[in-house]
Amino acid sequence: MNDTAERKLILCHLWVAFAAFIVACFMGEYQVLERSGLLPALESPTVYFASVSTHGVLMAFVLTTFFIMGFGYALASSSLKQPIWNKPLAWGAFWLALVGVVLAAVPLLLGKASVLYTFYPPMVGHAAFYLGATLLVIGSWIWCAIMLVMFTQWKTANPTKNVPLAMFATAANALLWLWASAGVALEVLFQLIPLSLGWIDTIDPGLARTLFAWTLHPIVYFWLIPAYTAFYVFVPKQAGGFLFSDEMARMAFIVLAVFALPIGFHHLYMDPEQASGWKLLHGIGTFVVALPTLVTGFTVIASLEIAGRLRGGKGLFGWIGTLPWGNTMVLAVILSLLMLIFGGFGGIVNASYAMNAMVHNTAWVPGHFHLIFAGTTVIMYFAIAYYLWPLLLRKPLFSNQLALLQLWTWFIGMSILTTPWHVLGLLGQPRRISTVVYNNLLTLAWKPYELMMIFGGLILLGSACLLIYNLVKTQVTPYAGQFTDEIDYAEPIHKVGVLPEYLNGLTVWNKVIAVLMALSFGFPILQFFFMDTFGSSAWGN
């Protein structure tokens, strides 16, 4: 964020992210409408599944990856107070990833890759879809390398200082993503691309699912860590207080990065290709990773309480009212935490091993991840955008009032969308159906909830448009004044002494991850090469 060139790099990343986001929002609303059967003219499984696949790719891969890259550059350059390392390489990564997105978008929009963003072999889409996704991931790997180089260079230059918390979190996320993406990379490079190009005739879907499960859990922490980073490094200051504990924040990021990785089998609980012992082991690990989230909840709420009391709040709950609710970052964190409480509860249900049978692949699951990702996580992306836009453009935000309205409507819309979605799951509705044609009385009970979802989706769509309007207006409105604001990091309430290496570096943790991954994925992957498996040939959609 130190000069115009850097600000442009960051802004370009964030604009790609939000452009993908707004397109995907329109698709989301179309999908709830199509699925409800309210407008028979809309009904088309071809369009519906092309839309679902594109919506998933845009939200889960494009919005997240570009946002995380741009935000990472902003945090690294501002917290380390040094220029972004190798800017031409960073631009190269940007263009590579963007070309990848365009390459994947063509077959997606033409309905030639309606295999959903989770791939699902032996169904196979057009090869361009997988090649595009690969380029996007390679772009993100270059970003990881740049982050880790900047982290290491700064540490070497400042041996007696602690790495700033914002950079520590970003580097931990880069390490997490390098490990996380290895699973899907193996699946795409050795199974999906060769199969889609006809180089091989069959693949083992059991192995493919195991490799995808490797990625599927930590990827959600890759998306979540930027939100948690904002919780720790921006929120306390924006609320007018201090960070409750810098060390606990580091511990939380470490446990997130380490334990998010070896636990992916909770996505395979209902699968026949892995044995119950491994599933139980991963299930227990899944509960362990709830710990850093519980700690984060405590630290963030404690930081807010400090701020509320400094602002004159009295009594057990009096500090809540004195918080600056008109500050977008503070409002967003409150709404985000509210959604985290309910989403986290749902997550515990999903994680509960055999109990998963009751909700697996029902509408409960998309209800859950919309609440926790599109709710908890993405609302923080908005708050970060509102915070960074003025700093990147060197002019104030077009409208703070509109931004507050946008955050509230996003929260309300998400509650109205996801509550009936969860209920539908409990009423047995499967996910990923384009219309309800089951000739059964049970489906009558689904109707009112589907209608509620359309309403929730409409509010969300309006809210998303409001976000884009505000960001565009900020960019195009001329500003004559002198803009002097700089990025402002929260200070810990207790001064932090010199930290030991394990709280200031990632080398040790990288080794711990390697051991845990070998233990939890070694045998489950190798088994496919030792038992008699039968390949599946490719199927279109």
Partner 1 sequence: MQTEPTQSKNILLLREFVSYLRTLHIDTLEQKWIAIAMMIIAFLVGIITVDALFHGINPPSKVETIDSASVHLSKEFAEDNLGVQRDNSGKIIVRMVALRYSFIPKHLEVPAETPITFRWVSTDVLHGVNIPMTNMSTMIVPGYVAEVTTTFPKPGEYPLLCNEYCGLGHNHMWSTIAVIAKEEWVAKTTATPPALTK
Give the catalytic positions in this structure. Answer: 217, 221, 368-370, 431-432
3-state SS track over 378-389: HHHHHHHHHHHH
Most distant CA pair in the chain, distance = 72
> In the complex with partner 1, which residue's Cβ is closer, 143 or 259?
259
End-to-end CA distance of the chain: 45
CB 445 → partner 1: shortest distance, Å?
10
Rg of the Cα trace of the chain? Answer: 23
Determine which helix (DSSP H) or strand (DSSP E) holds 441, and give its type and residue range. Answer: none
Cis peptide before 430 (omega within 30 of 0): no
In angstroms, give the least distance from the CB of 139 to partner 1. Answer: 28
Measured N-to-C along each axis, helices 328-351 and 400-426 cross at an angle, to the nearest 10 degrees, of 10
Nearer to partner 1, 5 or 109 (CB): 109
Supply the minimum distance, in Å, between the C-beta of residue 424 and partner 1. Answer: 11
Report residue 53 as tokens.
């696949």
Beta strand residue intervals within 415-460, DSSP E: none
Q: Which is nearer to partner 1, 22 or 291 (CB)?
A: 291
- Rounded CA-CA distance 525/519 in Å is 11
CB 188 within 8 A of CB 113: no
Question: Looking at beta carbons only, is 2 or 537 nearer to partner 1?
Answer: 537
Closer to partner 1 at the Cβ: 476 or 531? 531
Query: What is the C-alpha to C-alpha distance for residues 37 and 447, in angstroms, rounded to an integer?
Result: 9
d(CA 480, CA 482): 7
User: Residue 492 Cβ, how far from partner 1 at the closest point, in Å?
Assistant: 9
CB of 97 to partner 1, least distance (A): 26
Token pair in block for residue 274: 């892995």
- Which C-beta is closer to partner 1: that of 237 or that of 360? 360
Q: Any idea how long the chain is?
A: 541
**Residue 217 DSSP SS3:** coil
Question: Are 207 and 525 contacting, i.e. CB atoms less than 8 angstroms apart?
Answer: yes
- Nearest distance from residue 148's CB to partner 1, in Å? 23
Buried b (16+ CB within 10 A) or exposed e, 209-218: bbbbbbbbbb
Give how far Cα 394 sits from Cα of 2, 80, 200, Å. Answer: 12, 20, 54
Query: In 3D, which of 192, 183, 188, 191 has the Cα closest to residue 212?
Result: 183
DSSP 350-366: HHSGGGGGGTTTBTHHH
Least Å distance, CB 283 to partner 1, is: 6
For partner 1, the closer CB: 361 or 401: 361
Provide, rounded to whole angstroms, the least separation between the CB of residue 150 and partner 1. Answer: 26
**Distance, CA of 216 to chain centre:** 11
Q: Compute the distance between CA of residue 1 and CA of residue 302 in angstroms, rounded to an integer.
A: 30
